[in-house]
Structure 1
């Protein structure tokens, strides 16, 4: 009887998981077979079967393009800035929100913080282009007080900072939810014991809260490092313009431009494989270092 109940539960759990399994098979694993065109001179008219093989020619072409190195540099700089300034932002917001004692205020602030996540980049781009452009709202205020206007959208010196700042504004509140969930799982007895020992709120945060959040911090950091060559292509496409293309063009927008618009499918597939290999090496290496130094890792 017990075995029949277990088998029935296993079937029910499998049926529940089946849509997710099919999703990953159809949209993640089966398309991996298309990477074979990176080793072909692919033509949409000949297809994968009849397209001629060229070996590693597409990878050689990728490294022979002078523009590729500038795009790689732009991608690494934007990713570095996003990690340095964007990664700690959700953690800081979660810690600050955790200190609020009035639940109605805490819930209201939390809702306002993660609300921008649900706005599309088209809407967010329109808002900030109107705010930060040369004739936008911010420069109107600066002009009214006698300050010189500055165009953040078309200025190469401020474009990267603007991109990172807008990305933090939009996504920091959503990332904060993960840390809030981890904070809810901390044993309250630890804080009570610390209060008995005379520890203040600041000491409790350093001695209890942050160590308890360390597993979540390490996992999220490892996942972020693994996608260091990935950028938010929607955000960059919304804000990029010819004046800032030398500093704003990234790998994803380059792939979109020469792959989808230029029909160079084999070359862009080779670039995609290059990104995946670099991401895999980074996540394995950083995971190993994290496991050796902190004991926390993904696997």
Structure 2
């Protein structure tokens, strides 16, 4: 009796499997246009993100453009050991870490504060004008931003005119190493904080106004309503944004750091991204620069996994994944 039942169950399982596959195929046929819209993004991601990963193998080879990737000699971790043992490693690594860490700590809360303040503006016309003013710096080129910094912070610039009036002598902002990080971070906040606040403004727009009205009737002041209504609403988004920012903590924008570099501020402005550019493209040591870049990427992955784990523990299981 048992033997006669088992084949029947197996046959039913096959039918159920075929039915599931048939439903999946029918769903794809029904929504084929959505897959067509998705295809260009998938193709671009495959070509520009996944295919170039093959080139990372040169980090483990003594790469020669003449021999190619496959023909070059395998050297294992030689280039990684060379980078870690180099006299510049401590300075470059700590410069990258400090610039990223301080940038994250000081810039992360600013978009949240802007969104909370914008959410309190009730007149639509005034709110739109403020948003336009805050979002505009995001569309200015990095080259233009750095040019503005050199003009405003030059010895004869408007800021130094005020410094001269206060102290009697100008400050060399762009040539003294101790000013580089703060100029970089503050200009980043000015340029990107308004644009980064969009996601929080959109989330706060979904808050039911009746919640605020009820809280006001119960005697809650503005800060209490923000703490108990607005912040819980955007907390999941804050967690995701923080995890992504922490995961890219070692990936500082190359262009701005390189453009702001001078021969005098190199002790604090030389980071991994600029070092890779100088070693790889200017000196032609492609294998070594690939190893440095891969080392930077591995650190980012470790930080991403670690921060996501910590946030999930502190945020009741809510994280990036």
| Distance 1:50-1:139 versus aligned 2 partners, 3 A rule | same
- 2:110 alignment counterpart: 89
CA positional deviation for 1:186: 2.1
- 2:209 alignment counterpart: 188
| Distance 1:12-1:149 versus aligned 2 partners, 3 A rule | same
1:14 to 35, 45, 49: 35
CA positional deviation for 1:6: 4.1
CA positional deviation for 1:56: 1.0
Task: Name the SS for the 2:88 alignment partner.
Answer: helix
Task: Name the SS for the 2:74 alignment partner.
Answer: coil
For residues 206 and 212 of structure 1, the distance between their equivalents in structure 2, rounded to whole angstroms, comes to 10
| Distance 1:290-1:3 versus aligned 2 partners, 3 A rule | closer
Q: TM-score, normalised by structure 1?
A: 0.95
Bigger drift between 18-27 and 147-156 goes to 147-156
For residues 214 and 35 of structure 2, the distance between their equivalents in structure 1, rounded to whole angstroms, comes to 43
1:165 to 183, 186, 192: 186
- 1:24 alignment counterpart: 45
For residues 208 and 122 of structure 1, the distance between their equivalents in structure 2, rounded to whole angstroms, comes to 41
CA positional deviation for 1:68: 1.7
CA positional deviation for 1:86: 0.9
How many residue pairs match? The answer is: 298
1:288 to 288, 292, 309: 309
User: Could you report, residue by residue, the CA deviation over 1:14-69 in whole angstroms, capped at 9, with x for unpaired residues?
Assistant: 10000110111001011111111011011112110111111111111111111021
- 1:238 alignment counterpart: 259
- 1:69 alignment counterpart: 90
For residues 49 and 5 of structure 1, the distance between their equivalents in structure 2, rounded to whole angstroms, comes to 44
Structure 1 residue 297 and structure 2 residue 286: aligned?
A: no
- 2:142 alignment counterpart: 121
- 2:123 alignment counterpart: 102
| Distance 1:193-1:33 versus aligned 2 partners, 3 A rule | same
- 1:59 alignment counterpart: 80
- 2:99 alignment counterpart: 78
- 1:177 alignment counterpart: 198
For residues 198 and 9 of structure 1, the distance between their equivalents in structure 2, rounded to whole angstroms, comes to 53
1:263 to 253, 268, 284: 284
- 1:249 alignment counterpart: 270
How large is the Cα RMSD of the aligned pairs?
A: 1.7
User: Could you report, residue by residue, the CA deviation over 1:232-264 in whole angstroms, capped at 9, with x for unpaired residues?
Assistant: 111111111110001111100110111111111
For residues 286 and 146 of structure 1, the distance between their equivalents in structure 2, rounded to whole angstroms, comes to 44
User: Could you report, residue by residue, the CA deviation over 1:195-221 in whole angstroms, capped at 9, with x for unpaired residues?
Assistant: 232212211101111111100100000
Which runs of 5 or more structure 2 residues have no equivalent in the other structure? 1-22
Bigger drift between 204-213 and 100-109 goes to 100-109
- 2:223 alignment counterpart: 202
1:217 to 235, 238, 241: 238
Task: Name the SS for the 2:65 alignment partner.
Answer: coil
1:149 to 162, 170, 190: 170
